Structure 1
Amino acid sequence: MGKDSAVELEVGHRTVRISNPDRVYFPARGETKLDLANYYLSVGDGIVRALRERPCMLHRFPSGVSGDKVHQKRVPHGAPPWLSTVRVHFPRYGRHADELCVTELAHVIWAVQMSTVEFHPWNSRRADTEQPDEWRIDLDPMPQCGFDTVRRVAHVAHEILDELGAVGWPKTSGGHGMHIYVRIKPDWGFSDVRRAALAFAREVERRAPDDVTTTWWRKDRDPTMLFVDYNQNARDHTIASAYSVRGNPEGTVSTPITWSEVDDVDLREFTIATVPDRFAKLGDLHEGIDDAVFSLEPLLEWADRDEREGAQDPGEDA
Protein backbone atom coordinates (compact mmCIF):
# COMPACT_ATOMS: atom_id res chain seq x y z
CA MET A 1 0.00 0.00 0.00
CA GLY A 2 1.53 3.35 -1.03
CA LYS A 3 2.05 5.93 1.63
CA ASP A 4 -0.42 8.35 0.02
CA SER A 5 -3.11 5.70 -0.49
CA ALA A 6 -6.46 5.76 1.23
CA VAL A 7 -9.23 3.26 1.82
CA GLU A 8 -12.97 3.73 2.11
CA LEU A 9 -14.86 1.87 4.82
CA GLU A 10 -18.58 1.20 4.67
CA VAL A 11 -19.92 1.93 8.15
CA GLY A 12 -23.66 1.42 8.31
CA HIS A 13 -25.05 3.68 5.60
CA ARG A 14 -21.98 5.96 5.67
CA THR A 15 -18.71 5.81 3.79
CA VAL A 16 -15.71 6.94 5.80
CA ARG A 17 -12.39 7.57 4.10
CA ILE A 18 -9.25 6.54 5.99
CA SER A 19 -6.13 8.33 4.79
CA ASN A 20 -2.64 6.98 5.50
CA PRO A 21 -4.09 3.59 6.48
CA ASP A 22 -0.67 1.95 6.70
CA ARG A 23 0.81 4.47 9.13
CA VAL A 24 2.08 2.53 12.14
CA TYR A 25 0.25 3.66 15.27
CA PHE A 26 1.34 0.95 17.74
CA PRO A 27 5.02 0.10 17.32
CA ALA A 28 5.12 -2.88 19.71
CA ARG A 29 3.45 -5.09 17.10
CA GLY A 30 3.28 -2.80 14.10
CA GLU A 31 -0.49 -2.20 14.07
CA THR A 32 -1.58 0.60 11.78
CA LYS A 33 -4.25 3.26 11.54
CA LEU A 34 -6.36 0.86 9.47
CA ASP A 35 -5.92 -1.83 12.15
CA LEU A 36 -7.24 0.69 14.67
CA ALA A 37 -10.29 1.45 12.51
CA ASN A 38 -10.97 -2.26 12.04
CA TYR A 39 -10.68 -2.80 15.78
CA TYR A 40 -13.39 -0.22 16.46
CA LEU A 41 -15.57 -1.75 13.74
CA SER A 42 -15.23 -5.13 15.46
CA VAL A 43 -16.51 -3.80 18.81
CA GLY A 44 -19.04 -1.43 17.27
CA ASP A 45 -22.03 -2.14 19.52
CA GLY A 46 -19.84 -1.87 22.62
CA ILE A 47 -18.05 1.38 21.81
CA VAL A 48 -21.26 3.07 20.66
CA ARG A 49 -23.04 1.98 23.84
CA ALA A 50 -20.19 3.37 25.94
CA LEU A 51 -20.21 6.74 24.13
CA ARG A 52 -23.83 7.14 23.09
CA GLU A 53 -25.05 10.74 23.34
CA ARG A 54 -22.19 11.80 25.63
CA PRO A 55 -19.93 14.80 24.99
CA CYS A 56 -16.59 13.23 24.14
CA MET A 57 -13.03 14.49 24.35
CA LEU A 58 -10.74 12.94 21.76
CA HIS A 59 -7.12 11.99 22.42
CA ARG A 60 -5.48 12.23 19.02
CA PHE A 61 -2.07 10.94 17.97
CA PRO A 62 -1.43 12.30 14.45
CA SER A 63 1.91 10.47 14.15
CA GLY A 64 0.96 7.37 16.12
CA VAL A 65 1.24 6.79 19.85
CA SER A 66 5.01 7.38 19.86
CA GLY A 67 4.38 10.97 18.81
CA ASP A 68 2.64 13.94 20.37
CA LYS A 69 -0.83 13.64 21.89
CA VAL A 70 -3.51 16.24 21.16
CA HIS A 71 -6.44 16.69 23.56
CA GLN A 72 -9.30 17.77 21.30
CA LYS A 73 -12.57 19.05 22.68
CA ARG A 74 -13.92 20.96 19.69
CA VAL A 75 -14.98 19.21 16.51
CA PRO A 76 -12.97 20.95 13.77
CA HIS A 77 -14.41 22.95 10.92
CA GLY A 78 -15.00 20.87 7.84
CA ALA A 79 -16.44 17.87 9.66
CA PRO A 80 -19.10 16.00 7.65
CA PRO A 81 -22.66 17.31 8.04
CA TRP A 82 -23.85 13.97 9.40
CA LEU A 83 -21.53 14.18 12.40
CA SER A 84 -23.37 14.65 15.70
CA THR A 85 -22.14 17.21 18.26
CA VAL A 86 -23.26 18.65 21.58
CA ARG A 87 -22.40 22.03 23.07
CA VAL A 88 -20.86 22.05 26.52
CA HIS A 89 -19.87 25.05 28.60
CA PHE A 90 -16.82 25.75 30.74
CA PRO A 91 -17.99 28.41 33.22
CA ARG A 92 -14.57 28.93 34.77
CA TYR A 93 -13.21 30.16 31.45
CA GLY A 94 -16.41 31.62 29.99
CA ARG A 95 -16.10 29.35 26.96
CA HIS A 96 -17.97 26.59 25.23
CA ALA A 97 -17.14 23.76 22.84
CA ASP A 98 -19.08 21.68 20.36
CA GLU A 99 -17.83 18.20 21.19
CA LEU A 100 -18.33 14.95 19.34
CA CYS A 101 -21.53 13.20 20.44
CA VAL A 102 -21.54 9.63 19.16
CA THR A 103 -24.87 8.21 18.07
CA GLU A 104 -23.64 5.76 15.42
CA LEU A 105 -20.49 3.83 14.64
CA ALA A 106 -19.56 6.03 11.67
CA HIS A 107 -18.90 8.86 14.15
CA VAL A 108 -16.27 6.69 15.86
CA ILE A 109 -14.58 5.77 12.59
CA TRP A 110 -14.56 9.43 11.51
CA ALA A 111 -12.71 10.18 14.76
CA VAL A 112 -10.17 7.47 13.93
CA GLN A 113 -9.65 9.14 10.56
CA MET A 114 -8.85 12.27 12.58
CA SER A 115 -6.10 10.27 14.38
CA THR A 116 -8.15 9.58 17.51
CA VAL A 117 -6.96 6.63 19.56
CA GLU A 118 -8.68 7.28 22.91
CA PHE A 119 -12.31 8.28 23.59
CA HIS A 120 -12.97 10.11 26.85
CA PRO A 121 -16.72 10.75 27.32
CA TRP A 122 -18.46 12.84 29.96
CA ASN A 123 -20.59 11.01 32.52
CA SER A 124 -23.66 12.95 31.36
CA ARG A 125 -25.62 12.94 28.11
CA ARG A 126 -26.74 15.58 25.67
CA ALA A 127 -30.34 15.67 26.96
CA ASP A 128 -28.93 17.51 29.99
CA THR A 129 -25.15 17.73 30.16
CA GLU A 130 -25.32 19.09 33.73
CA GLN A 131 -27.06 15.98 35.14
CA PRO A 132 -24.77 12.92 35.19
CA ASP A 133 -26.28 9.47 34.72
CA GLU A 134 -23.04 7.59 35.43
CA TRP A 135 -21.03 7.24 38.63
CA ARG A 136 -17.43 6.20 38.03
CA ILE A 137 -15.28 4.34 40.56
CA ASP A 138 -11.63 4.67 39.54
CA LEU A 139 -9.24 2.27 41.30
CA ASP A 140 -5.94 4.01 40.69
CA PRO A 141 -2.81 2.25 42.00
CA MET A 142 0.14 4.34 43.09
CA PRO A 143 3.56 3.57 41.53
CA GLN A 144 4.52 0.84 44.01
CA CYS A 145 1.04 -0.66 44.32
CA GLY A 146 0.72 -4.08 42.70
CA PHE A 147 -2.28 -5.33 40.76
CA ASP A 148 -3.09 -7.86 43.49
CA THR A 149 -4.08 -4.85 45.59
CA VAL A 150 -6.35 -3.64 42.80
CA ARG A 151 -8.01 -7.08 42.77
CA ARG A 152 -8.59 -7.03 46.55
CA VAL A 153 -10.01 -3.53 46.51
CA ALA A 154 -12.27 -4.34 43.55
CA HIS A 155 -13.83 -7.11 45.62
CA VAL A 156 -14.34 -4.72 48.55
CA ALA A 157 -16.04 -2.23 46.23
CA HIS A 158 -18.23 -5.02 44.83
CA GLU A 159 -19.24 -6.05 48.35
CA ILE A 160 -20.30 -2.50 49.24
CA LEU A 161 -22.18 -2.05 45.96
CA ASP A 162 -24.11 -5.26 46.65
CA GLU A 163 -25.02 -3.98 50.11
CA LEU A 164 -26.27 -0.74 48.55
CA GLY A 165 -28.29 -2.59 45.93
CA ALA A 166 -26.21 -1.05 43.13
CA VAL A 167 -24.98 -2.95 40.09
CA GLY A 168 -21.34 -2.30 39.29
CA TRP A 169 -19.92 -2.90 35.81
CA PRO A 170 -16.15 -3.49 35.99
CA LYS A 171 -13.59 -2.95 33.28
CA THR A 172 -9.84 -2.73 33.02
CA SER A 173 -8.53 0.78 32.63
CA GLY A 174 -6.20 -0.17 29.81
CA GLY A 175 -3.41 1.03 32.07
CA HIS A 176 -2.61 -0.27 35.56
CA GLY A 177 -5.94 0.02 37.33
CA MET A 178 -9.61 -0.81 37.11
CA HIS A 179 -12.83 1.14 36.66
CA ILE A 180 -16.32 0.30 37.88
CA TYR A 181 -19.33 2.08 36.38
CA VAL A 182 -22.76 2.44 37.96
CA ARG A 183 -25.78 3.86 36.15
CA ILE A 184 -27.55 6.45 38.31
CA LYS A 185 -30.72 8.47 38.09
CA PRO A 186 -29.92 11.83 36.46
CA ASP A 187 -31.41 13.67 39.43
CA TRP A 188 -28.24 15.32 40.76
CA GLY A 189 -25.56 17.67 39.53
CA PHE A 190 -21.84 16.99 39.32
CA SER A 191 -21.10 18.26 42.84
CA ASP A 192 -23.56 15.83 44.43
CA VAL A 193 -22.34 12.89 42.33
CA ARG A 194 -18.76 13.67 43.33
CA ARG A 195 -19.81 14.03 46.97
CA ALA A 196 -21.50 10.61 46.83
CA ALA A 197 -18.41 9.13 45.17
CA LEU A 198 -16.22 10.50 47.97
CA ALA A 199 -18.51 8.94 50.60
CA PHE A 200 -18.20 5.59 48.83
CA ALA A 201 -14.42 5.93 48.59
CA ARG A 202 -14.21 6.60 52.32
CA GLU A 203 -16.20 3.45 53.03
CA VAL A 204 -13.82 1.42 50.86
CA GLU A 205 -10.93 2.97 52.80
CA ARG A 206 -12.52 2.01 56.14
CA ARG A 207 -12.85 -1.61 55.07
CA ALA A 208 -9.41 -1.88 53.46
CA PRO A 209 -7.24 0.58 55.43
CA ASP A 210 -4.00 -1.24 54.58
CA ASP A 211 -4.66 -1.00 50.85
CA VAL A 212 -6.67 2.17 50.19
CA THR A 213 -6.22 5.89 50.56
CA THR A 214 -8.52 8.81 49.81
CA THR A 215 -5.77 11.37 50.45
CA TRP A 216 -6.13 13.92 47.68
CA TRP A 217 -2.63 15.35 47.35
CA ARG A 218 -0.47 12.89 45.46
CA LYS A 219 2.67 13.92 47.36
CA ASP A 220 0.98 12.87 50.62
CA ARG A 221 -0.06 9.38 49.48
CA ASP A 222 1.78 6.21 50.38
CA PRO A 223 3.23 4.98 47.04
CA THR A 224 2.23 1.39 47.90
CA MET A 225 -1.47 2.25 48.29
CA LEU A 226 -4.41 2.40 45.92
CA PHE A 227 -6.21 5.73 45.49
CA VAL A 228 -9.97 5.63 44.93
CA ASP A 229 -10.21 8.64 42.64
CA TYR A 230 -13.60 10.15 43.45
CA ASN A 231 -12.71 13.35 41.58
CA GLN A 232 -13.26 11.56 38.28
CA ASN A 233 -16.91 12.44 38.90
CA ALA A 234 -16.27 16.18 38.95
CA ARG A 235 -17.60 18.30 36.10
CA ASP A 236 -15.62 17.98 32.85
CA HIS A 237 -13.44 15.17 34.19
CA THR A 238 -13.25 12.21 31.85
CA ILE A 239 -11.67 8.77 31.68
CA ALA A 240 -11.26 6.35 28.81
CA SER A 241 -14.49 4.61 27.91
CA ALA A 242 -15.17 0.92 27.73
CA TYR A 243 -13.56 -0.45 24.55
CA SER A 244 -11.37 2.63 24.15
CA VAL A 245 -7.86 1.83 22.99
CA ARG A 246 -5.14 3.47 25.06
CA GLY A 247 -2.28 5.50 23.66
CA ASN A 248 0.59 3.15 24.41
CA PRO A 249 2.84 1.10 22.10
CA GLU A 250 1.02 -2.16 22.89
CA GLY A 251 -2.43 -0.86 21.96
CA THR A 252 -4.07 -2.03 25.18
CA VAL A 253 -7.83 -1.69 25.52
CA SER A 254 -10.05 -0.63 28.42
CA THR A 255 -12.05 -3.85 28.46
CA PRO A 256 -15.26 -4.87 30.27
CA ILE A 257 -14.82 -7.94 32.43
CA THR A 258 -17.04 -10.03 34.70
CA TRP A 259 -16.63 -10.00 38.46
CA SER A 260 -15.53 -13.63 38.27
CA GLU A 261 -12.56 -12.59 36.10
CA VAL A 262 -11.13 -10.09 38.59
CA ASP A 263 -8.80 -12.59 40.28
CA ASP A 264 -7.27 -13.89 37.06
CA VAL A 265 -7.41 -11.03 34.58
CA ASP A 266 -4.15 -10.10 32.87
CA LEU A 267 -4.28 -6.48 31.72
CA ARG A 268 -1.66 -7.07 29.03
CA GLU A 269 -3.87 -9.61 27.27
CA PHE A 270 -6.47 -7.06 26.21
CA THR A 271 -5.26 -5.34 23.03
CA ILE A 272 -6.62 -4.32 19.65
CA ALA A 273 -5.37 -7.71 18.41
CA THR A 274 -7.19 -9.83 21.03
CA VAL A 275 -10.32 -7.97 22.13
CA PRO A 276 -12.18 -8.42 18.78
CA ASP A 277 -12.20 -12.21 19.23
CA ARG A 278 -13.25 -11.84 22.87
CA PHE A 279 -16.06 -9.51 21.82
CA ALA A 280 -17.20 -11.93 19.09
CA LYS A 281 -17.42 -14.73 21.68
CA LEU A 282 -18.83 -12.86 24.68
CA GLY A 283 -20.57 -9.84 23.21
CA ASP A 284 -20.65 -6.61 25.17
CA LEU A 285 -20.38 -7.46 28.87
CA HIS A 286 -21.84 -4.00 29.65
CA GLU A 287 -24.91 -4.59 27.51
CA GLY A 288 -27.36 -4.37 30.42
CA ILE A 289 -25.87 -1.30 32.06
CA ASP A 290 -28.69 1.06 31.10
CA ASP A 291 -31.26 -1.20 32.76
CA ALA A 292 -29.67 -1.16 36.23
CA VAL A 293 -30.21 2.35 37.58
CA PHE A 294 -29.23 3.31 41.13
CA SER A 295 -30.33 6.21 43.35
CA LEU A 296 -27.51 8.10 45.06
CA GLU A 297 -29.63 8.86 48.15
CA PRO A 298 -27.93 6.28 50.44
CA LEU A 299 -24.49 7.58 49.50
CA LEU A 300 -25.54 11.19 50.06
CA GLU A 301 -26.74 10.14 53.52
CA TRP A 302 -23.27 8.68 54.11
CA ALA A 303 -21.78 11.97 52.98
CA ASP A 304 -23.98 13.86 55.48
CA ARG A 305 -22.87 11.51 58.25
CA ASP A 306 -19.18 11.89 57.38
CA GLU A 307 -19.44 15.67 57.36
CA ARG A 308 -21.22 15.71 60.71
CA GLU A 309 -18.33 13.67 62.07
CA GLY A 310 -15.83 16.22 60.79
CA ALA A 311 -14.68 14.73 57.49
CA GLN A 312 -13.05 17.32 55.25
CA ASP A 313 -13.19 17.61 51.47
CA PRO A 314 -10.20 19.24 49.76
CA GLY A 315 -12.54 20.56 47.07
CA GLU A 316 -12.97 19.82 43.37
CA ASP A 317 -10.15 22.16 42.43
CA ALA A 318 -7.54 20.78 44.82
Structure 2
Amino acid sequence: MDKRVYSRIPKKSGKLTQKKAITTTEELDKAQIKKIFDLFDYNGNGGLSLAEIDRAIVELYPHLVYYDTAKTDIIKEAQKIAKKSKDGFINFKDFNYFIDYLHDYCEKAVISTKKLDEVQVKKAFDFYSNEGVLPLAEVNKAVLLLYPHLKKDKSAIMQAYNEKVPKFSQGDFINFKEFEYLIDALHYYNEKAEFTTRKLSKIQVKKIFDVFDYNNDGTLSYGEINKAVVILYPHLSKDESVIMRAYKAADVSRDGVIDFNEFGRLIDLLHYYNELSCIFKRLDIDDNGRIDFEEFKKGHDLIGISVKSNTMLKEKFDEICVP
Protein backbone atom coordinates (compact mmCIF):
# COMPACT_ATOMS: atom_id res chain seq x y z
CA MET A 1 0.00 0.00 0.00
CA ASP A 2 1.28 3.45 -0.89
CA LYS A 3 0.99 5.36 2.38
CA ARG A 4 1.51 9.05 1.78
CA VAL A 5 3.44 11.11 4.27
CA TYR A 6 1.56 14.17 3.22
CA SER A 7 -1.44 15.14 1.14
CA ARG A 8 -0.99 16.45 -2.35
CA ILE A 9 -0.91 20.22 -2.57
CA PRO A 10 -4.33 21.30 -3.85
CA LYS A 11 -4.37 23.03 -7.19
CA LYS A 12 -6.61 25.76 -8.46
CA SER A 13 -6.65 26.71 -12.14
CA GLY A 14 -3.38 24.82 -12.57
CA LYS A 15 -1.58 26.84 -9.88
CA LEU A 16 -0.62 25.94 -6.34
CA THR A 17 -3.01 27.41 -3.79
CA GLN A 18 -0.77 28.68 -0.98
CA LYS A 19 -3.44 29.17 1.68
CA LYS A 20 -4.58 25.54 1.50
CA ALA A 21 -1.10 24.17 0.92
CA ILE A 22 -0.01 25.34 4.37
CA THR A 23 -2.50 23.00 6.04
CA THR A 24 -2.10 19.91 3.84
CA THR A 25 1.05 18.50 5.45
CA GLU A 26 -0.18 15.40 7.24
CA GLU A 27 2.93 14.35 9.18
CA LEU A 28 4.86 17.63 9.35
CA ASP A 29 2.70 19.75 11.62
CA LYS A 30 3.14 23.49 12.04
CA ALA A 31 5.21 23.16 15.23
CA GLN A 32 7.57 20.76 13.53
CA ILE A 33 7.97 23.00 10.48
CA LYS A 34 8.72 25.89 12.84
CA LYS A 35 11.43 23.79 14.45
CA ILE A 36 12.99 23.14 11.03
CA PHE A 37 12.67 26.83 10.12
CA ASP A 38 14.43 27.92 13.32
CA LEU A 39 17.14 25.32 12.76
CA PHE A 40 18.20 26.99 9.51
CA ASP A 41 17.50 30.60 10.54
CA TYR A 42 21.11 30.95 11.65
CA ASN A 43 21.01 34.65 12.50
CA GLY A 44 17.55 34.48 14.07
CA ASN A 45 16.09 37.31 11.97
CA GLY A 46 12.83 35.48 11.25
CA GLY A 47 13.63 34.98 7.56
CA LEU A 48 15.66 32.53 5.48
CA SER A 49 18.03 33.77 2.80
CA LEU A 50 18.42 31.77 -0.43
CA ALA A 51 21.77 30.53 0.87
CA GLU A 52 20.09 29.23 4.03
CA ILE A 53 17.34 27.62 1.93
CA ASP A 54 19.96 25.96 -0.26
CA ARG A 55 21.68 24.54 2.80
CA ALA A 56 18.36 23.36 4.26
CA ILE A 57 17.51 21.50 1.04
CA VAL A 58 20.84 19.68 0.97
CA GLU A 59 20.73 18.74 4.65
CA LEU A 60 17.08 17.66 4.74
CA TYR A 61 17.13 15.94 1.34
CA PRO A 62 20.72 14.80 0.69
CA HIS A 63 19.69 12.65 -2.29
CA LEU A 64 18.88 15.85 -4.22
CA VAL A 65 22.60 16.56 -4.43
CA TYR A 66 22.64 13.95 -7.21
CA TYR A 67 19.64 15.36 -9.12
CA ASP A 68 20.82 18.66 -10.59
CA THR A 69 17.56 19.36 -12.42
CA ALA A 70 15.45 18.75 -9.32
CA LYS A 71 17.59 20.97 -7.12
CA THR A 72 17.64 23.74 -9.76
CA ASP A 73 13.84 23.65 -10.05
CA ILE A 74 13.42 23.81 -6.28
CA ILE A 75 15.84 26.73 -5.92
CA LYS A 76 13.95 28.57 -8.68
CA GLU A 77 10.73 28.11 -6.72
CA ALA A 78 12.47 29.50 -3.62
CA GLN A 79 13.67 32.49 -5.65
CA LYS A 80 10.10 33.16 -6.78
CA ILE A 81 8.87 33.10 -3.19
CA ALA A 82 11.70 35.35 -1.99
CA LYS A 83 11.02 37.84 -4.81
CA LYS A 84 7.48 38.38 -3.55
CA SER A 85 8.71 39.48 -0.13
CA LYS A 86 9.88 43.03 0.51
CA ASP A 87 13.25 42.04 1.96
CA GLY A 88 14.13 39.11 -0.30
CA PHE A 89 13.88 36.59 2.55
CA ILE A 90 11.47 33.68 3.02
CA ASN A 91 9.42 34.13 6.19
CA PHE A 92 7.85 31.34 8.23
CA LYS A 93 4.46 31.53 6.50
CA ASP A 94 6.07 31.17 3.08
CA PHE A 95 8.36 28.43 4.41
CA ASN A 96 5.25 26.38 5.25
CA TYR A 97 4.25 26.53 1.60
CA PHE A 98 7.81 25.84 0.44
CA ILE A 99 8.13 22.67 2.58
CA ASP A 100 4.87 21.37 1.10
CA TYR A 101 6.14 22.15 -2.40
CA LEU A 102 9.45 20.43 -1.60
CA HIS A 103 7.77 17.21 -0.46
CA ASP A 104 5.54 17.15 -3.50
CA TYR A 105 8.44 17.72 -5.87
CA CYS A 106 10.66 15.13 -4.20
CA GLU A 107 7.98 12.47 -4.54
CA LYS A 108 7.74 13.10 -8.27
CA ALA A 109 11.52 13.43 -8.69
CA VAL A 110 12.28 9.90 -7.53
CA ILE A 111 12.93 7.71 -10.57
CA SER A 112 10.16 5.19 -11.17
CA THR A 113 11.44 1.63 -10.90
CA LYS A 114 8.26 -0.07 -12.03
CA LYS A 115 9.27 -2.95 -14.26
CA LEU A 116 8.52 -2.36 -17.94
CA ASP A 117 6.20 -4.80 -19.66
CA GLU A 118 7.19 -6.78 -22.77
CA VAL A 119 5.07 -4.63 -25.10
CA GLN A 120 6.97 -1.46 -24.10
CA VAL A 121 10.32 -3.18 -24.45
CA LYS A 122 9.41 -4.69 -27.84
CA LYS A 123 8.23 -1.32 -29.14
CA ALA A 124 11.58 0.31 -28.30
CA PHE A 125 13.48 -2.63 -29.81
CA ASP A 126 11.45 -2.59 -33.05
CA PHE A 127 11.92 1.15 -33.48
CA TYR A 128 15.65 0.72 -34.15
CA SER A 129 15.92 -2.97 -35.14
CA ASN A 130 16.12 -4.41 -38.63
CA GLU A 131 14.95 -7.93 -39.44
CA GLY A 132 14.81 -8.96 -35.80
CA VAL A 133 18.23 -7.72 -34.73
CA LEU A 134 19.43 -4.46 -33.24
CA PRO A 135 22.87 -3.04 -34.13
CA LEU A 136 24.99 -2.43 -31.03
CA ALA A 137 25.45 1.13 -32.26
CA GLU A 138 21.69 1.67 -31.85
CA VAL A 139 21.32 0.03 -28.43
CA ASN A 140 21.77 3.27 -26.49
CA LYS A 141 19.04 4.97 -28.53
CA ALA A 142 16.59 2.11 -27.94
CA VAL A 143 17.33 2.03 -24.20
CA LEU A 144 16.90 5.82 -23.89
CA LEU A 145 13.37 5.50 -25.29
CA LEU A 146 12.59 3.49 -22.14
CA TYR A 147 14.97 5.12 -19.64
CA PRO A 148 15.62 8.72 -20.79
CA HIS A 149 17.29 9.60 -17.45
CA LEU A 150 20.24 7.38 -18.47
CA LYS A 151 21.21 9.98 -21.06
CA LYS A 152 23.68 11.36 -18.50
CA ASP A 153 24.98 7.90 -17.67
CA LYS A 154 25.22 6.05 -20.98
CA SER A 155 28.26 4.10 -19.80
CA ALA A 156 25.90 2.17 -17.48
CA ILE A 157 24.10 0.77 -20.54
CA MET A 158 27.17 -0.84 -22.08
CA GLN A 159 28.43 -1.92 -18.67
CA ALA A 160 25.15 -3.74 -18.04
CA TYR A 161 25.31 -5.28 -21.53
CA ASN A 162 28.88 -6.54 -21.08
CA GLU A 163 28.43 -7.85 -17.53
CA LYS A 164 24.82 -9.02 -17.29
CA VAL A 165 23.58 -10.07 -20.75
CA PRO A 166 24.13 -13.62 -22.06
CA LYS A 167 25.34 -13.40 -25.68
CA PHE A 168 23.34 -15.34 -28.29
CA SER A 169 23.91 -13.29 -31.44
CA GLN A 170 26.95 -13.12 -33.69
CA GLY A 171 28.73 -9.90 -34.65
CA ASP A 172 27.73 -6.39 -33.66
CA PHE A 173 24.03 -7.13 -33.19
CA ILE A 174 21.70 -8.24 -30.42
CA ASN A 175 18.34 -10.00 -30.67
CA PHE A 176 15.20 -9.22 -28.70
CA LYS A 177 15.95 -11.78 -25.96
CA GLU A 178 19.32 -10.12 -25.31
CA PHE A 179 17.66 -6.71 -25.29
CA GLU A 180 15.18 -7.97 -22.68
CA TYR A 181 18.07 -9.15 -20.49
CA LEU A 182 19.65 -5.72 -20.86
CA ILE A 183 16.47 -3.90 -19.83
CA ASP A 184 16.12 -6.26 -16.84
CA ALA A 185 19.68 -5.46 -15.79
CA LEU A 186 19.05 -1.72 -16.13
CA HIS A 187 15.84 -2.05 -14.11
CA TYR A 188 17.95 -3.34 -11.23
CA TYR A 189 20.51 -0.57 -11.87
CA ASN A 190 17.70 2.01 -11.58
CA GLU A 191 16.58 0.58 -8.25
CA LYS A 192 20.10 0.69 -6.87
CA ALA A 193 20.68 4.21 -8.23
CA GLU A 194 17.52 5.48 -6.59
CA PHE A 195 18.82 4.57 -3.17
CA THR A 196 22.51 5.28 -3.63
CA THR A 197 22.93 8.54 -1.77
CA ARG A 198 25.83 10.05 0.08
CA LYS A 199 26.05 9.03 3.73
CA LEU A 200 24.89 11.73 6.12
CA SER A 201 27.47 13.40 8.35
CA LYS A 202 27.13 13.18 12.13
CA ILE A 203 26.10 16.85 12.28
CA GLN A 204 23.34 16.28 9.69
CA VAL A 205 22.08 13.21 11.55
CA LYS A 206 22.01 15.17 14.84
CA LYS A 207 20.01 18.00 13.26
CA ILE A 208 17.44 15.58 11.86
CA PHE A 209 17.30 13.72 15.19
CA ASP A 210 16.60 16.94 17.10
CA VAL A 211 13.82 17.98 14.69
CA PHE A 212 11.88 14.79 15.36
CA ASP A 213 12.63 14.49 19.07
CA TYR A 214 9.35 16.23 19.92
CA ASN A 215 9.60 16.05 23.69
CA ASN A 216 13.39 16.62 23.80
CA ASP A 217 13.98 13.47 25.85
CA GLY A 218 16.90 12.32 23.69
CA THR A 219 15.05 9.34 22.22
CA LEU A 220 12.75 8.64 19.26
CA SER A 221 9.79 6.26 19.25
CA TYR A 222 9.01 4.12 16.18
CA GLY A 223 6.35 6.64 15.12
CA GLU A 224 8.88 9.47 15.28
CA ILE A 225 11.47 7.32 13.49
CA ASN A 226 9.01 6.57 10.70
CA LYS A 227 8.34 10.29 10.19
CA ALA A 228 12.02 11.18 10.23
CA VAL A 229 13.08 8.45 7.81
CA VAL A 230 10.33 9.17 5.29
CA ILE A 231 11.23 12.87 5.34
CA LEU A 232 14.87 11.96 4.68
CA TYR A 233 14.08 9.30 2.06
CA PRO A 234 10.56 9.91 0.62
CA HIS A 235 10.67 6.74 -1.52
CA LEU A 236 10.64 4.63 1.66
CA SER A 237 7.01 5.59 2.32
CA LYS A 238 6.24 2.76 -0.13
CA ASP A 239 8.21 0.12 1.79
CA GLU A 240 7.77 0.48 5.54
CA SER A 241 9.14 -3.05 6.08
CA VAL A 242 12.62 -1.64 5.37
CA ILE A 243 12.15 0.99 8.08
CA MET A 244 10.87 -1.60 10.57
CA ARG A 245 13.81 -3.96 9.96
CA ALA A 246 16.33 -1.15 10.37
CA TYR A 247 14.50 0.10 13.49
CA LYS A 248 14.58 -3.31 15.18
CA ALA A 249 18.24 -3.90 14.29
CA ALA A 250 19.27 -0.41 15.47
CA ASP A 251 17.52 -0.76 18.84
CA VAL A 252 20.48 -2.53 20.44
CA SER A 253 19.30 -1.58 23.95
CA ARG A 254 15.97 -3.34 23.27
CA ASP A 255 14.04 -0.61 25.08
CA GLY A 256 11.72 0.17 22.17
CA VAL A 257 13.16 3.64 21.51
CA ILE A 258 16.16 4.92 19.55
CA ASP A 259 18.74 7.24 21.11
CA PHE A 260 21.09 9.43 19.07
CA ASN A 261 23.85 6.80 18.76
CA GLU A 262 21.32 4.19 17.64
CA PHE A 263 19.81 6.69 15.19
CA GLY A 264 23.16 6.99 13.40
CA ARG A 265 23.30 3.20 13.19
CA LEU A 266 19.73 3.13 11.88
CA ILE A 267 20.59 5.51 9.02
CA ASP A 268 23.50 3.23 8.01
CA LEU A 269 21.26 0.15 8.22
CA LEU A 270 18.68 1.77 5.95
CA HIS A 271 21.20 1.79 3.10
CA TYR A 272 21.98 -1.88 3.73
CA TYR A 273 18.38 -3.12 4.06
CA ASN A 274 17.28 -1.03 1.11
CA GLU A 275 19.77 -2.74 -1.15
CA LEU A 276 18.79 -6.19 0.14
CA SER A 277 15.11 -5.36 -0.45
CA CYS A 278 15.85 -4.25 -4.02
CA ILE A 279 17.81 -7.44 -4.73
CA PHE A 280 15.04 -9.63 -3.30
CA LYS A 281 12.40 -7.91 -5.42
CA ARG A 282 14.62 -8.32 -8.45
CA LEU A 283 15.06 -12.07 -7.81
CA ASP A 284 11.41 -12.69 -6.89
CA ILE A 285 10.22 -12.82 -10.51
CA ASP A 286 6.74 -14.22 -9.79
CA ASP A 287 6.27 -11.73 -6.93
CA ASN A 288 5.10 -14.36 -4.41
CA GLY A 289 7.39 -13.23 -1.59
CA ARG A 290 9.69 -16.26 -1.93
CA ILE A 291 12.69 -17.08 -4.11
CA ASP A 292 12.79 -20.57 -5.66
CA PHE A 293 15.85 -22.17 -7.23
CA GLU A 294 14.94 -21.14 -10.79
CA GLU A 295 14.69 -17.49 -9.72
CA PHE A 296 17.91 -17.83 -7.75
CA LYS A 297 19.66 -19.36 -10.76
CA LYS A 298 18.62 -16.50 -13.01
CA GLY A 299 19.80 -13.73 -10.67
CA HIS A 300 22.45 -15.24 -8.39
CA ASP A 301 25.10 -12.82 -9.71
CA LEU A 302 23.15 -9.92 -8.17
CA ILE A 303 24.15 -11.10 -4.70
CA GLY A 304 27.77 -11.72 -5.62
CA ILE A 305 27.69 -15.50 -6.04
CA SER A 306 29.95 -16.77 -8.82
CA VAL A 307 29.85 -20.51 -9.66
CA LYS A 308 30.81 -22.68 -12.62
CA SER A 309 28.00 -25.26 -12.61
CA ASN A 310 24.34 -25.73 -11.69
CA THR A 311 25.38 -28.33 -9.11
CA MET A 312 27.56 -25.81 -7.27
CA LEU A 313 24.81 -23.20 -7.58
CA LYS A 314 22.26 -25.62 -6.06
CA GLU A 315 24.63 -26.24 -3.16
CA LYS A 316 24.87 -22.49 -2.55
CA PHE A 317 21.08 -22.17 -2.76
CA ASP A 318 20.59 -24.99 -0.23
CA GLU A 319 23.09 -23.33 2.13
CA ILE A 320 21.12 -20.10 2.37
CA CYS A 321 17.61 -21.47 1.81
CA VAL A 322 15.40 -21.33 4.89
CA PRO A 323 12.73 -24.10 4.82
Q: Which has the higher contact order (CA 8 A, sep 6+)?
A: 1
Larger fraction in strand: 1
In the superposition, the TM-score normalised over structure 2's length comes to: 0.23
Larger fraction in helix: 2
In the superposition, the TM-score normalised over structure 1's length comes to: 0.23
